[in-house]
Amino acid sequence: MTAPKYRELAEMLRQQVSQAPIGAPAPSERQLAEETGVSRMTARRAIDELVKEGLLTREVGRGTFVARPTISVPLQLTSFTDDMRARGHVPSSRLLELADRPADARVAGVLGVEQGTPVTVLARVRMADGVPMAIERSSLRADRFPGLARYDFENESLYRVLSEDYGARFEAGEQVIRAGIVRDEDAEILEIPSGAPVLELVRVSVSRGEVVEWTTSTYPASRFELSARIAPVTVRGSELRSALRVRD
Ligand code: 16G
């Protein structure tokens, strides 16, 4: 059986869209029907297909445009660089801040160090194919990783440096995910309207029994989804309740 006409057309459109810049106008139903000789109904179904897949977005009264990519990130202890590469995107970073600082009470509490212990603060805009995907603000144990502030984190993966140059082995971690509203200064960096929804992923990771990293990643809700594989495990009710923590 041959694929329905609209599927063929959708495939052709998909190829066009993959070459087009974000925000470029997509052909209208009428144009598409005229150019390809299909009915307007078939053209509409093909366009609908791409809208459903998130490749095109319809803006009321304006038309249909090439959408920003939505990135699906697994809930695992992996690095941004590896996650993006695994999905066929090219990762890059822009540095916002990199410095050693004495830990304040909050950072010290999370990292389990004395207040005043040196901590490396790293803030980056993380990009996929040049599109800003997240702002990541990390606090790292400078006593475990001395000299970290000298690295070029626009071009380096933090996890690569920690594991290969400092011998860190991440054996555990915890990630809390919460919804929020973007801060004004972040809205500009992420190129989203002020007040837009964001997802914040707060991660602590553990190496050799100690918390070594505390990172908050702020993702625009519109460009990002989380996926987790659900395996059959036996958990008691009380454990489940503690995993589904109420936000404070
Ligand atoms: C991920 C981690 C972040 C880590 C970063 C290292 C989440 C929510 N966060 O983005 O904690 O610092 O990877 O990335 O996944 P890099 O090795 O590419 O610098």
Chain centroid, CA 188 distance in Å: 17
189: exposed, middle or buried (Cβ count in 10 Å: 0-12, 13-18, 19+):
middle
Whole-structure pTM value: 0.71
What are the structure tokens assigned to 198, written together? 């964001």
Which pLDDT value is given to residue 224?
Answer: 78
Secondary structure class of 37 (helix, strand, coil):
coil
Furthest-apart CA pair in the chain: how many Å? 72
48: exposed, middle or buried (Cβ count in 10 Å: 0-12, 13-18, 19+):
middle
CB 223 within 8 A of CB 71: yes
Q: For residues 234 and 244, what is the distance between their CA atoms, to the nearest angstrom?
A: 16
Q: Can you list the domains of the chain with their CATH numbers?
A: 5-66 (1.10.10.10), 71-229 (3.40.1410.10)
Closest atom, ligand 1, to C-alpha of 217: 8
d(CA 21, ligand 1 centre) in Å: 27
pLDDT over 60 (residue 233)? no
CB 216 within 8 A of CB 201: yes
d(CA 115, ligand 1 centre) in Å: 25
pLDDT digits (tens, 9 = 90+) for 147-184: 999 999 999 999 999 999 999 888 888 888 899 999 99
CB 169 within 8 A of CB 208: yes
d(CA 20, ligand 1 centre) in Å: 29
Residue 136 CB partners (closer than 8 Å, separation 6+): 80, 122, 123, 124, 126, 215, 216, 217, 218
d(CA 41, ligand 1 centre) in Å: 45
Task: Report, as an integer, the average pLDDT of 211-231.
Answer: 84
Residues with CB under 6 A from ligand 1: 79-81, 136, 138, 157-160, 201, 203, 215, 217
Task: For ligand 1, atom 2, name the residue with the nearest CA.
Answer: 79
Which pLDDT value is given to residue 248?
Answer: 47
Pairing of strands 71-74, 224-227: parallel
pLDDT digits (tens, 9 = 90+) for 23-70: 889 999 999 999 999 999 999 999 999 888 788 888 888 889 988 766
CB 134 within 8 A of CB 126: yes
Secondary structure class of 56 (helix, strand, coil):
strand
Closest atom, ligand 1, to C-alpha of 202: 8
Task: Report, as an integer, the average pLDDT of 95-118.
Answer: 95
Q: For residues 144 and 65, what is the distance between their CA atoms, to the nearest angstrom?
A: 48
CB 216 within 8 A of CB 204: no
Which of 203, 211, 214, 219 for mutating ligand 1's site (highest number of atoms within 8 Å of CB)? 203
Q: For residues 44 and 33, what is the distance between their CA atoms, to the nearest angstrom?
A: 9
What are the structure tokens assigned to 79, written together? 């690095």
